[in-house]
Amino acid sequence: MSLPPLSAYPALRLRRLRQADWVRRLVRETVLTPADLIWSMVVHEGEGEVPVGSMPGVARLSVKQCAEAAKQAKALGIPAIAVFPHIDGAKKDAAGSLAADPNGLVCNAVKAMKDAAPEVGIMCDVALDPFTDHGHDGLIEGGRILNDATIEALVAQALVQAQAGCDILAPSDMMDGRVGALRTALEAEGLQDVMIMSYAAKYASAFYGPYREAIGSGKLGTGSVDNPGDKKTYQMDPANTEEALREVALDIAEGADMVMVKPGMPYLDIVQRVSETFKLPTFAFQVSGEYAMLMAAAQNGWIDEERAILESLGAFKRAGAAGIVTYFAPRAARLLGA
Ligand code: PBG
């Protein structure tokens, strides 16, 4: 195709609207603010903070520090925190029994954060993997991840989280039917105000690698019959889009208030299709591997760290996300001038 010369379009100069900061701001189509961020945070049972090697700038925090961080979130205008536990390896078992401990690490962290900053929303991951010695999200029998038995364990876990004061349950396990089971259980327990943000389209991704270090579930996939090599029988095939829409439709029908796409940046097309199709708050998770990649490149001087953080987060908004779960939340909020 050959285009007419530029002189044929004397009025078409799109650069006119880019010539100064004031006009760029004036015509900007999407805006990132601290209110778009959910702070992804790792809590551990010990004292003080333990840096996560593969995620420079991220550390596991003590319960006390989580409470301080909740106050910080409030000051920075970050609406919510998503908490993930690092459990001592000696306390894990094949069934992930401690997931439903009402006096366990997650519940203690939730209570401490809600005490410190009741105005900040707290979201809990509903999944067994931090608590299972094999690192899978479900119960295993004969090499298979059991769906319905896992759901029973998830319901027990979610109820203790909700009773501890968690505002948003975020099932990340990808068992079929778990959202409906959680919603039914919440209604039965008089916990109907607890929100559900389902990890509706969650892919079997390589980008969760650093998270395994962060929460200490490094044993995943030893390949023995009791520990399948990957999560591909429950998490989605990265090649699929239509299936993501089916997953989301089901979760909404089962009672999800909000949905999430995960990972984030390599899946912006899914974020866009889900938000356009269902018109409900659609979140994206900028996962550990995305954080690690950006930080590794920045630390090598290959990309500008601050610009890359804000550009990557802004891209989610452009794709139609209502917000982003991110380890960069406090950094980004400060960069945004909070
Ligand atoms: C597991 C869970 C994972 C993450 C959040 N919840 C890992 C997995 O599914 O294997 C990943 C978070 C991240 O990579 O930042 N239920």
In the reported structure, the alpha carbon of residue 29 is separated from the centroid of ligand 1 by a whole-number distance in angstroms of 31
User: Which atom of ligand 1 lies at the shortest distance from residue 174's CA?
Assistant: 16
Q: Report the C-alpha gap between 288 and 195 in whole angstroms.
A: 24
Q: What is the pLDDT of residue 4?
A: 74
pTM of the shown model: 0.96
Calpha distance 329→37 (Å, rounded) = 6
Catalytic residue (one of 202, 219, 232, 279): 202
Residue 83: per-residue pLDDT: 98
Return the best residue to mutate from 211, 220, 325 for the ligand 1 pocket (most ligand atoms within 8 A of CB). 211
CA of 230 to the centre of ligand 1 (A): 13
Give me the pLDDT at residue 10, please: 67
CA of 15 relative to ligand 1 center, distance in Å: 42
CATH class of 31-337: alpha beta
Q: Do 271 and 317 form a contact (C-beta atoms < 8 A)?
A: no
Q: What is the pLDDT of residue 5?
A: 75
Question: What is the pLDDT, as a whole number, of residue 12?
Answer: 82
Burial call 188-213: b when 16+ CB within 10 Å, e when fewer = eeebeebbbbbbbbbbebebbebbbb
Active-site residue, selected from the candidate residues 92, 231, 262, 317: 262
Q: Which residues line ligand 1 (CB under 6 A)?
A: 125, 127, 129, 137, 172-173, 208, 211, 231, 287-288
What are the CA-CA distances from residue 130 to residues 59, 134, 192, 223, 312 (Å)?
16, 9, 26, 18, 28
If one residue of 137, 161, 328 were mutated to test the ligand 1 pocket, choosing by the most ligand atoms within 8 A of its CB, it would be 137
Q: What are phi and psi of 185, to 5 degrees?
A: -65, -40
**pLDDT the model gives residue 223:** 74
Q: Two tokens at 184?
A: 């039914």
- Residue 232 has a pLDDT of 95
The amino acid present at 170, given as its one-letter code, is A
Distance 76 CA to ligand 1 centre (A): 25
Tell me the C-alpha distance between 172 and 198, whole Å.
Answer: 7
The tokens for 94 are: 């094949």
Closest to 174 in 3D by CA, of 155, 207, 152, 201: 201
Atom of ligand 1 nearest to the CA of 287: 15
The list of the chain residues with pLDDT below 70 reads: 1, 6, 9-10
Encoding tokens for residue 338? 């909070």
| For the CA of 289, the nearest atom of ligand 1 | 14
Catalytic: 91?
no
Concerning whether 262 is annotated as a catalytic residue, the answer is yes
